[in-house]
Structure 1
């Protein structure tokens, strides 16, 4: 396969990331393994294609990605960003039977922070706080097509789920696969992912603010 290619649903891309996943999943001297994906599922799919047995290990994939389920509408770009970067890999992972915790777009988008909150709660927290606050503004200025005063910190629920597995409401989703257009359709086999319907945004954000403040005071 050519360099830089994405895996098909039959052929993996052998990568250091995929090999590390296989090694960690097969360890017997450690506890459960949680792997957070804040973008496409390329390395996870490659690991499963190279070593299908890891689907039966005590490994959980936490994925920030995918469109809303059911009758929930999504007004963002379509297909959902993390899914459209590698739809075949998402199908490999969802078909493998491995444990999945999925945070779809309508949920991760709710972890939102405004400029005023950045100014009050993040910027005063030393050099790190000032850097983080300015980075959000700079990113919006460069990439947004319209004026905005906020930014979704949508990757953060993955960290929250690893810090506190009880910080979210889950429901069990019947197996699905994703079409080339990014839509969900029923699948006869595969994982029944735990889909996050709500995450404790108050705790997630306040925990981050408190840790930034504590670090600044100690530094």
Structure 2
């Protein structure tokens, strides 16, 4: 069983990712930290608690983290997850309470308690993770890996066709806080970056048969997922929209689901049209050796991934 910290900004896809991680017998969620991203920090924090209560889970601490990026204002998300951030499902206000520990401090404490045996799942902007690494750089060798939904690498048409940041080229999490992403990418911690090339591939879509399975299930979380899918379909999007962050969770549950290449990546922190772009240097000659080398997802077993999500939610 792998121990994980989940840093997230729920959001529909984060909410499903939390369900997948908490219900998976392969993972033990040691802590959840929240960050501003899809919604302001108070909303993302409450939504994380709502998911725990949906699952009847009360033993996982949830810590509120950063309410804004490191050096800039919080950008408004152009993609709406509904007025509640959870596809208008309107889960009841949580009775669970947030931890008194700040999200970055929770990351530091949890890593130190589980040194060498903890994975960070970064599902939102990388603000909390970057802050933790700046406050306590000594934790870097204690982290087994960081698996992040981060970036867009130009590996296929989905890399830009499904751009989620608020410009033609970027992915939302990096776009919101590119300075934080730059810190994490350059940290030296083993980083597995799952970008839009894989996470928003149109093969990440449920079949009608699977939708019927969810609809007929007595599980509340299955109904929750079915509602989110109907919400995005009704707005002209595909069901991959609610599955993006779950791919990072699935990648830690079963590493064979994702194939990676290694490459040198820079983060654009200044461009007007390109803010938040993750630039993969693929040149044969004159490569910038000062760029950090990270693991970049380029292919996934989408059908097996979807079945993993289905089986876990329906269990």
TM beyond 0.5: yes
CA positional deviation for 1:140: 4.7
Aligned counterpart, 1:119: 211
Equivalent residues in 2 for 1:201-216 (5 A)? 201-213=302-314, 215=315
Q: Which piece of structure 1 moves more, 168-177 or 186-195?
A: 186-195
Deviations 1:6-63 (A, max 9, x none): 2149xxxxx7111111112223x56521111111101000001101122222431111
Cα contact 1:100–1:191 (8 A) shared by 2 = no
Is 1:160 aligned with 2:250?
A: yes
1:22 partnered with 2:108:
yes
Residue range with higher mean Cα deviation, 97-106 or 120-129: 120-129
The answer to whether the Cα contact below 8 Å between 1:96 and 1:190 also exists between their aligned partners in 2 is: no
Q: Indicate whether 1:80 and 2:176 are aligned.
A: no
Alignment of 1:186-201 (within 5 A): 188-189=289-290, 191-201=292-302
Q: Name which of structure 1's ranges 65-74 and 202-211 shifts more when overlaid on structure 2.
A: 65-74
Aligned to 2:198: 107
Paired position in structure 2 for 1:182: 276
Please, which runs of 5 or more residues in structure 2 have no aligned partner?
A: 1-65, 73-100, 282-287
Match of 1:12 in 2: none
Distance 1:87 1:105 in 2: 16
Question: Following TM superposition, by how much is the alpha carbon of 1:86 offset from its aligned partner in structure 2, in angstroms?
Answer: 1.0
Query: What RMSD over aligned residues (CA atoms) do the two structures have, in Å?
Result: 2.7
Structure 2 length normalisation: TM-score?
A: 0.57
Give me the whole-angstrom Cα distance separating, in 2, the residues matched to 1:109 and 1:49.
31
Structure 1: gaps spanning 5 or more residues: 10-14
Aligned to 2:13: none
The Cα shift of 1:71 comes to 7.5
| 1:134 and 2:197 aligned | no
Corresponding residue SS for 1:97: coil
Residue 154 of structure 1, CA deviation: 1.1
Contact 2:125–2:176 (Cα < 8 Å) also in 1: yes
Structure 2: distance between partners of 1:40 and 1:104: 13
For these two proteins, the number of residue pairs brought into alignment is 202
